[in-house]
Structure 1
Amino acid sequence: MLVLDGVARHFNNKAAVSDVSLTIGSGSFVGVIGRSGAGKSTLLRMVNRLVDPTAGSIRFGDVDVTKLKGQALRDWRARCAMIFQQFNLVGRLDVLTNVLMGRLNTVSTPRSLLQLWKDEDRAVALSALEQFDISQLAAQRADSLSGGQQQRVAIARALVQEPEIILADEPIASLDPRNTKVVMDALLRINRHYGITVMCNLHSLDLARTYCDRLIGMSAGRVVFDGVPEELTEGVARDLYGLEADDVLDFDPAISPERFRGAVPAAA
């Protein structure tokens, strides 16, 4: 269980996140929604400790995440994988090597620098690629792939870390509708099949309602909504998004599949 208690982050004199207290149950799929600049990305980056909180504490079980340093912090980042909007792949390296980067915390520095990967690690990486129907791309350079393919590679890299939490920061923001569905299906499959907790920043409320079992709405760095998707009425959404509400409430059937309540979507 992930527990945030009074977490805040200030940049100079500006509060990006203010007094956020949340309890995230294991195995949940949580959507974090809100306008651009609401504090969504900063919140996820504090959980992963890419950004340090100015105040408050973050705990996972008996681990005080806010106090971790050195190897203990690296271990936490392996347990709490991060997926970014811009994929963060090494374009000149092949797909398989990019996925193997998710195993860096399990190998020695000399072996990782020389790319002396164990057969076991290669098998794990190929298995992850197969799950997302991209194993045939293992030998291709990452920068030769489409955006949707690159994001699936990034998800495979996160999966081979064997994490307990996946944090996805606007993972479909730069994708077309077809690849949006493919990527969101992949995240949902990980959540349902492996029981991995997923926290995902999303701009589209239709996607958030479709895939998430809990929604957390942020505005000006604070949590202003916390409930199940059915509780996010149009009125609540308009309060949350203001003038931007019409942009995020549009329904697009191409990217809104049936609700996977208790089901595991097939591999993309």
Structure 2
Amino acid sequence: MLVIDGLTCRFGNKTAVSDVNLQIGQGAFIGVIGRSGAGKSTLLRMVNRLQESSAGRILFEDRDVTALKGHELRQWRARAAMVFQQFNLVGRLDVLTNVLMGRLSGMANWRALTKSWSAEDKAIALSALEQFDMANLAAQRADSLSGGQQQRVAIARALVQEPRLILADEPIASLDPRNTKVVMDQLLRINKHFGITVMCNLHSLELARTYCDRLVGMAGGKVVFDGSPSRLTPAVARDLYGLEAGEVMGELADAVPAAGGHAPAALPATAAPQR
């Protein structure tokens, strides 16, 4: 279980995240929703320890994540894999090498420095790419791919980290509707087939209700809603989005009331992360 206990982040006089308390069970698909600037990205970055907290604790299976340093912190960042809005690939490197970067935390220092990938690491990376229909592009430069393809490579890289938790920060913000569905379907497959917890920042209420089994709504750095998608009423949307509520109210009215029923076919067992 992931426990977020009184987590707060301040930048000078500004409080970006204020006293957030959450308990998240293994295998959940959590949608973090709210307007831009609500604190969603800062929250995920604090869980991964890319951003230090000003107060509070993060516990995972009773281990204090906020106290980790050095090698243990690097291991945690591998177990809590990030997927970013802008993909964070190395454009000049080929697709396979970008995915293999997800294996660095488990390598000996000399192998990491020389990028001497083992046959096992290459097999794991290729297997992950196959699950995203990307193995045929393994030798292409990452910057030659479309946005949707790059995000699938980024998710494959996260998967080979053998994570217990995937933190997806607006992973579909720059994608068209077709690639949005492809990427969200892949995240849901990972969640349902491997039992990996997913926390995904989303702006679209329709996507949040379709894919997530629990929604955490943030406004002004605070959690103002925490519950099932069926409880996300127009009144709650107004609390979350303020002046932007009108833009999302139509989505809310048209959205499918039930969540968690959109699971695509399971991934083959050959792609399962090794633990």
Same fold (TM over 0.5): yes
Q: TM-score, normalised by structure 2?
A: 0.92
Residues 259, 32 of structure 1: alpha-carbon distance in 2 compared, 3 angstrom cutoff: closer
Paired letter, 1:87: F
Structure 1 residue 266: Cα displacement: 5.8
What is aligned with 2:117?
117
What is aligned with 1:242?
242
Structure 1 residue 216: Cα displacement: 0.2
Residue deviations 1:174-207 (CA, integer Å, cap 9, x gap): 0000000000000000000000000000000000
CA contact (8 A) 1:20 1:223 kept: yes
Matched, 1:98 2:98: yes
What is aligned with 1:176?
176
Residue deviations 1:98-134 (CA, integer Å, cap 9, x gap): 0000000111232223221111100100010011111
What is aligned with 1:3?
3
What is aligned with 2:16?
16
Structure 1 residue 242: Cα displacement: 1.5
Residues 221, 85 of structure 1: alpha-carbon distance in 2 compared, 3 angstrom cutoff: same
Paired letter, 1:145: L
Structure 1 residue 250: Cα displacement: 4.2
Paired letter, 1:98: N
CA contact (8 A) 2:99 2:160 kept: yes
1:5-154 to structure 2, matched below 5 A, reads 5-154=5-154
CA contact (8 A) 2:213 2:260 kept: no
What is aligned with 2:261?
261
Structure 2 CA distance for aligned equivalents of residues 17 and 231 of structure 1:
23
Residue deviations 1:207-232 (CA, integer Å, cap 9, x gap): 00000000000000000000000000
Give the alignment's Cα RMSD to 1 decimal.
1.7
* Structure 1 unaligned regions, length at least 5: none
CA contact (8 A) 2:185 2:263 kept: no
Give SS of 1:10's match.
strand
Paired letter, 2:128: A
What is aligned with 1:218?
218
Paired letter, 1:120: E
Identity %: 72
CA contact (8 A) 1:57 1:64 kept: yes
CA contact (8 A) 2:193 2:266 kept: no
CA contact (8 A) 2:229 2:259 kept: no
Paired letter, 2:169: D
* Structure 2 unaligned regions, length at least 5: 268-275
Structure 1 residue 265: Cα displacement: 3.7
Give SS of 2:56's match.
strand
Q: TM-score, normalised by structure 1?
A: 0.95
CA contact (8 A) 1:206 1:249 kept: no
